[in-house]
Chains A and B, each alone.
Chain A
Amino acid sequence: MHAHKLTTRLSAVLTALALLGWLVLQPTSRAAGKLQIMTATTDLASLAQEVGGDKIEVESVARGYQDPHFVDAKPSFLLKLKRADLLIVVGLELEIGWLPPLINQSTNPKIQVGAPGYFDASRFAKILEIPTGQVTRAEGDVHPLGNPHYWLDPENGLRIAKGIVDKLSQMRPGDAAYFEQRYSDFEQRLKQADQRWLAEMKPYEGRKIVTYHRSWPNFAEHFHLNVVGYVEPRPGIPPSPQHTVELIQQMKRENVKVIVVEPYFDLKTPNSVARETGGQVLVLPPSVGGEKEITDYFKLFDYDISKLKQAFDATH
């Protein structure tokens, strides 16, 4: 029986030794090559790529066609997060259901909340729909810090890029000039593109639309659209028959014809609403990568605006 006790101790010691072994076998930190950046969403990855150029390698955890509220905390992301020098998040509790465990388990001190490699993009953006007064979940899955879908305003894109460029310059002072150069180039291109987008949307100013989820307030504000209703009765709550009936009545009353649906939502209810109102369901990706051809931040607006124009023209 003495042997038993010994085995217990031995196994404890062996476990500890095995773990210490990995200490030694740890590959030393990567050669000072490209900055490794992970982002929560593809839009942030695209913005980082714009200013980081070939001095960075960037990858997003969520895909553009995925609901950013519901991403699985797969261990395969841990390996990527472990190597990251910088983690860029949307913030405002968008990723609250999946990012905290990934950060905790990444064993990467650089990207822990509050560390220099943790970058919350919402701090640089203009945030809408910050609830005031009492906040309860009677209003659904509310985001107490404001609507996290803020990247859909090119001005916010620019602000976030500015934040990123400052962060990159701080992390790699030697490349600061390069990053600044890329930023001013991006700024110029984005402003030109924005002029074009605004001009394209000008004829549709004040148009009323209905959206599935509250993903579009910043987009609507920038391009002067008027979101008058939602397919969801409350954020995060699936459509209910009563709300759908009310929505149909409202759309008929206000002559609303376009129902914008994010690519990760079911089309059954939007389709039936469209049938009842003679409207059109428009699947509009809110993120880069939502469709194959949307490969960067510019193409996101190109795509969405051209689709919106088509829908407005077809339903008028």
Chain B
Amino acid sequence: MKKFVIVSAISCFGFTAYAQQAPVPAAPADPMAQEARIKALEDQVRTLAEQVAVLTGELHVIRGAKSPDPAPDARVLLASARIDPSTLAASPATPAPSSEAAQLPQTQAMGGGTQPQTYGGATSNAKLLNPDISLIGDFIGTAGHNIVSPSRSLELHESEVGMQAIIDPYARADVFISFGETGVNVEEGYVTFTSLPAGLLMKVGKMRADFGKVNTIHNHALPYIDRPLVTNNLVGGEDGINDAGISISHFLPAPKNWFFEGTGQVFRGDSSTVYAANRRQDLSVVGHVRGYRDLSESTNLDLGVSYSRGHTNLGADLGSNFFTNLYGVDATLRWKPLRRAVYKNFLLRTELFWSARDQFSPLNIFQTQHAFGMYTSAEYRVNRRWTVGGRFDRSGRATDANLTDTGVSGILTYWPSEFSQIRGQYRFGHLALGTPGDFSNANEFLFQFLFVMGAHGAHPF
């Protein structure tokens, strides 16, 4: 065994030494380059000394353990120090101080394995051509009383697998597959063409429609555990308006200091409880205009108006001549001081929705139900780990505007790190029963554990 270790150590050493010698070109005549070369060689010697130290340490560990397995903590240093003299601009050559060499083993022990240097680190092939893969687990528990919209006590609500990659020089793709308690669903899967002429941005695939704010946000990125009542009552529930289609956006001309963007989307016309397409021509459309302005370095205002139209979901063959029109207005005020961005911030958001739904009345007469719903939410980051929030909900029901649900929530969130989240929410609901004026009160406590593995996603904004 010992022999094997020594042989492998030597061969490893020899190989790294060889690998490092290879790229150094023959001695250049230029004194500057010469200096650079000396510096490069010094660095190499340092690298090698360190590797010897590591290998010796490894040998000791292995000998001590008398085990055939290498120590789990062993740091294998890859010889990837590629030195290109042209990038090594001759700088005042600083001989490595002896103290630094003496500290090396210590840094190794403490820093959790630091490789002394590599040029062109960003070209590392660690990822090859795999997409960025992530998985977000969303565990939700519910306790308390709710007879109108009960949910289960404990569930792994969804496990969302995200795969994101640049496809070619003209496009990237984002796919989110959600494994829920009831099945698998492609939550979103679209390709974005980033290099179109004339400043157009096109997305093609299945996507959450650009209808307001909350409709575009994935469950795990919401500042609450559930979705606002209005989402459930008027805008299609948890999945919302989420359909296969084509989206085109463009920046719009705007007054000074404003940013305007317009988005137009055409979908097949099937979106959970809102729209249904029984025929090919039963498409639905979504239009959204966003206005954004920085009020100061730390404060900004984000406004939007949305419109959507599709065929009412009435069940087989009935909906084709029945339409649902949805209108939305959203406003978000954010405050985040740049110097303390990870400790303090505040967000206030309101969305208003109007629904005009063609349907049959209970007496089988054609009618259009006009329902209104809204929510207002606020969240305040108290410190690096804690956020408190609240939400007020009020919404009529799309099918019967006389039935109005009201709710209030308090939310407390704790972040152990950027990659996990623990959240509790108290929710009170004054929920309409079947007949106007008849209500049931719901008192519930929800808790949620979120965890993220894999690729580091973008921070929501």
Q: Mark A13-47, 1 if CB is under 8 A from B, else 0.
A: 00110110011011000000000000000000000
B255 to chain A, nearest CB (A): 12
**Chain A contacts for B338, CB-based, 8 A:** 63, 65-66, 264
B75 an interface residue at 8 Å Cβ cutoff? Answer: yes
Q: Are B417 and A141 in contact (CB under 8 A)?
A: yes
**Chain A contacts for B120, CB-based, 8 A:** 123-124
**Chain A contacts for B251, CB-based, 8 A:** 78-79, 82, 107
**Chain B contacts for A206, CB-based, 8 A:** 97, 99-100
Q: Are A72 and B336 in contact (CB under 8 A)?
A: yes
A194 to chain B, nearest CB (A): 6
Bound CA span A91–B124, Å:
12
The residue in chain A whose Cβ has the minimal distance to the Cβ of B113 is: A132
**Count the A-B residue pairs with Cβ separation under 8 angstroms: how many?**
237
B16 to chain A, nearest CB (A): 12
**Chain B contacts for A238, CB-based, 8 A:** 384-385
A245 an interface residue at 8 Å Cβ cutoff? Answer: no
Q: Are A74 and B294 in contact (CB under 8 A)?
A: yes
Known A22-B198, A66-B338; contact A145-B121, beta-carbon cutoff 8 A: yes
Bound CA span A123–B123, Å:
7
B221 to chain A, nearest CB (A): 13
Q: Which of B20-28, B88-96, B142-150 contacts A (4 or more CB under 8 A)?
A: B88-96
Bound CA span A154–B252, Å:
43
Q: How many residues of B contact A (CB 8 A)?
A: 90
Q: Are B264 and A109 in contact (CB under 8 A)?
A: no
Bound CA span A77–B461, Å:
13
Q: Are A191 and B92 in contact (CB under 8 A)?
A: yes
Q: Which of B6-14, B339-347, B437-445 contacts A (4 or more CB under 8 A)?
A: B339-347
Q: How many residues of A contact B (CB 8 A)?
A: 92
B103 an interface residue at 8 Å Cβ cutoff? Answer: yes
B78 an interface residue at 8 Å Cβ cutoff? Answer: yes
B358 to chain A, nearest CB (A): 8
Known A22-B250, A129-B114; contact A97-B121, beta-carbon cutoff 8 A: no
The residue in chain B whose Cβ has the minimal distance to the Cβ of A23 is: B198
**Chain B contacts for A25, CB-based, 8 A:** 253
Chain A contact residues, majority secondary structure: mixed
Q: Are A264 and B342 in contact (CB under 8 A)?
A: yes
Q: Mark B223-265, 1 if CB is under 8 A from A, else 0.
A: 0000000000000000000000000111111000001011010
**Chain A contacts for B435, CB-based, 8 A:** none
Q: Are A12 and B285 in contact (CB under 8 A)?
A: yes
B76 an interface residue at 8 Å Cβ cutoff? Answer: yes
A180 an interface residue at 8 Å Cβ cutoff? Answer: no
> When the two chains form the complex, which single residue of B77, B122, B126, B199 contacts A123, counting CB atoms closer than 8 Å?
B122
Q: Mark A189-222, 1 if CB is under 8 A from B, else 0.
A: 0010011001000000110000000000100001
B181 to chain A, nearest CB (A): 27
Cβ-closest 8 pairs across A and B: A109-B195, A127-B121, A15-B264, A97-B459, A122-B122, A1-B321, A75-B292, A23-B198
With A107-B200, A132-B113 already in contact, 6 other A-B pairs whose C-beta atoms are closer than 8 Å: A127-B117, A127-B119, A129-B115, A130-B121, A137-B419, A266-B384
Query: Contact residues of A with B, CB < 8 Å?
Result: 1, 4-5, 7-8, 11-12, 15-16, 18-19, 22-23, 25-26, 63, 65-67, 70-76, 78-79, 82, 91-93, 96-98, 100-101, 103-105, 107-109, 112-115, 120, 122-133, 137, 139-141, 144-146, 154-155, 158-159, 162-163, 187, 191, 194-195, 198, 205-206, 217, 222, 224, 226, 228-229, 236-238, 263-264, 266
